[in-house]
Amino acid sequence: MRIVGGAFGGRRFNPPSGIPARPTTDIAKEALFNILNNMLDTEGINALDIFAGTGNIGYELASRGATRITMVERDPASINFIKKTAKELGIEDIAVVIKSDVFRFMNQCTEQFNFIFADPPYALDALAELPVVVFRKNLLLPGGIFVLEHPPHYSFEAHPNYTKVKNYGGTIFTFFTQSTQTDV
């Protein structure tokens, strides 16, 4: 795996075998960040990476100027790898690694983010609930973006915050946006 852009662009990292993660491929990640470049200025953002796995998306965000990246993961080997890699990249001061079940974290979280990325296990029974919880708990700042990576048999086009979907083979990214409107 490699970081595809930004200050650490081209830098490679190799997660140990046995980590129960399905990292976003370099090709899909590059396509994702090409889309995000037109939707969001990542410089100085506060980001959340849930189901962080290897930390792949978090490193990419740090490479592109995010000033705080919260990475939520429950697997101890994955957490150790994320912390080790963050230290090697010199981003341990902006990479907040939290060991938790993602739904427990989201239900207790009071912070808001400019960008949230979720790459859950494709077999996760509650995968379709992720956008519901993100918006019910008001986890995005106004104008914020939530991207959900998921298998092709899910569709979120009926969700009120749905923006668009992009298909990269077996990898689907659905984009959701928090309204910039405030209630009066």
**Euclidean distance between CA atoms 91 and 50, whole angstroms:** 18
Domains identified in the chain and CATH numbers: 43-152 (3.40.50.150)
pLDDT score, position 166: 95
Which pLDDT score, from 0 to 100, does residue 16 have?
76
pLDDT of the residue at 184: 41
pLDDT recorded at residue 181? 66
Residue 137 has pLDDT above 90, yes or no: yes
Tell me the C-alpha distance between 13 and 56, whole Å: 9
CB 30 within 8 A of CB 127: no
Q: How many CB atoms lie within 10 A of CB 24?
A: 23
Q: State yes or no: pLDDT of 122 exceeds 50.
A: yes
Q: What is the pTM of this model?
A: 0.94
Q: Checking DSSP bridges between strand 46-50 and strand 140-150, what pairing results, if any?
A: unpaired
Q: In DSSP terms, which residues pair with 147 in a beta bridge?
A: 117, 175
Tell me: pLDDT of 118 over 60: yes
Q: What is the pLDDT of residue 182?
A: 53
CB-CB contact of 82 with 55 (8 Å): yes
Tokens of 147: 């991207």
Mean pLDDT of 129-151: 97
| DSSP letter assigned to residue 101 | -
Question: What pLDDT shows up at residue 152?
Answer: 92
Handedness of CA 73, 1, 20, 126 (dihedral sign): positive
